[in-house]
Amino acid sequence: MSRVLIVGAGLTGSLCACLLRRELQSSVHITVWDKARGAGGRMSTSRPPDSVCQSADLGAQYISATAAYAQSHHSLYSELLSSGVLCPLDGLIEGLQQRDDVRDYVTPRGMSSLVKHFLSESGADLLLEHHVTGLYRRGASWEVHRKQGDSETFDAVVLTMPVPQILQLQGDVGEMLSVSQREQLDRVEYSSRFALALFFPPDVVFSFDWTARYVSDNSVIRYIAADSRKRHADSGGPSLVVHTSVQFGVDHLEQDKDDVQPIILQELHKLLPGLPQPISIKCQKWRYSQVITCVPDAPGHMTVLDRPLLVAAGDAFVHSNFDGCVESALSTLSVFKASL
Ligand SMILES: Cc1cc2nc3c(=O)[nH]c(=O)nc-3n(C[C@H](O)[C@H](O)[C@H](O)COP(=O)(O)OP(=O)(O)OC[C@H]3O[C@@H](n4cnc5c(N)ncnc54)[C@H](O)[C@@H]3O)c2cc1C
């Protein structure tokens, strides 16, 4: 049995774990490590400190399936719809461009439930607060080092964190990359933005009728969602999510999020005067938000070394959404099938 480590419990990592389990069954022992305290990555769902409020999606908001992807990823969409992880979006989204061949879905239990579904299906050992700092080749294995100072050995490793974080790893990864692979990874670019989640008391009812709104005439705020309404969550206080514009994200990237939060709130109150007082607010800085420039020709993954196997995967190798991560996980699976 091969011991496989997947670094990152985001959508790509959870899909890799699930597909490897389904296709390779007992020939692999799968472990997933993530540096965060919860699974989800950029599909994270934030829970308020007070359980009387609904949760809020700080990163990804919808799953938008083109007709082509709805067909090619049909079995995954059916699985998610029949298990209630996905349901069709039916609220009013102001400013959303009409796309004839696209169907939008939401996650009634929050975006992280999508990732948790695949992790649970995979039966993988999930270890949170496991921050990988370096990878060292030791004969036919990888010795993987953690921030806490200890290390563990695996037969194969899949890295699913954003590309700049892969390039920051210590050890042998940098040396294993060919010149052209390094050039391709160096060219990958991400947008940056801030997200705010506001959690309100149960008696609050929003005075506007939209579920979400794209804002075009404000330099700070790009998107606002009545997150609980988007997901038909009717018990508990409502939640509101705000995404800043990419330009604002870039301009304030090196500032502390506690200093940026009041600027976003000030603009929010201009856009929504009379907004009630929230019980709590969470601010998230997405340094690596969505991929602007992906690896050329969107190959799905990059094999850094055949033996011991080391693969880099994630949305940067296709494009930044649900179907991009599915494509990346499928192409990673094909490497494992050929290798094992
Ligand atoms: C604001 C925003 C809005 C978006 N909107 C949409 C949308 O509406 N629809 C859509 O489909 N997509 C959307 N996306 C894109 C989507 O969220 C991503 O494409 C997808 O979540 C990427 O998943 P991933 O697993 O490849 O990477 P990630 O989700 O980034 O997962 C990587 C994981 O690796 C972990 N990690 C990083 N470094 C280490 C380390 N050294 N050791 C251990 N763990 C590590 C991280 O904690 C993270 O959990 C949005 C993203 C953002 C940020």
State whether the beta carbon of 31 lies less than 6 angstroms from ligand 1.
Answer: no
State whether the beta carbon of 222 lies less than 6 angstroms from ligand 1.
Answer: no
Q: Tell me: the pLDDT tens digits for 55-84?
A: 999 999 999 999 999 999 999 999 999 999
State whether the beta carbon of 122 lies less than 6 angstroms from ligand 1.
Answer: no
Q: pTM score, two decimals?
A: 0.98
In this predicted structure, what is the pLDDT of residue 331? 98
State whether the beta carbon of 327 lies less than 6 angstroms from ligand 1.
Answer: no
Q: Report which DSSP code applies to 237.
A: B
Hey, how many other C-beta atoms are within 10 angstroms of the C-beta on 93?
18
Cα(49) to centroid of ligand 1, in Å?
A: 23
Contacts of 103 (CB under 8 A, 6+ apart): 64, 65, 70, 88
State whether the beta carbon of 237 lies less than 6 angstroms from ligand 1.
Answer: no
Q: Which of 115, 148, 161 should be mutated for ligand 1, with most atoms under 8 A from CB?
A: 161
Percent pLDDT > 70 in the chain is 100
Q: Are 212 and 226 spatial neighbours (Cβ–Cβ below 8 Å)?
A: yes
Q: Tell me: the pLDDT tens digits for 103-160?
A: 999 999 999 999 999 999 999 999 999 999 999 999 999 999 999 999 999 999 999 9
Q: Which of 11, 32, 42 should be mutated for ligand 1, with most atoms under 8 A from CB?
A: 42
What does each C-alpha distance from 148 to 135, 145, 246, 330 come to in angstroms? 14, 8, 34, 32
> Among the atoms of ligand 1, which is closest to the Cα of residue 324?
19
* Rounded CA Rg of the chain: 20
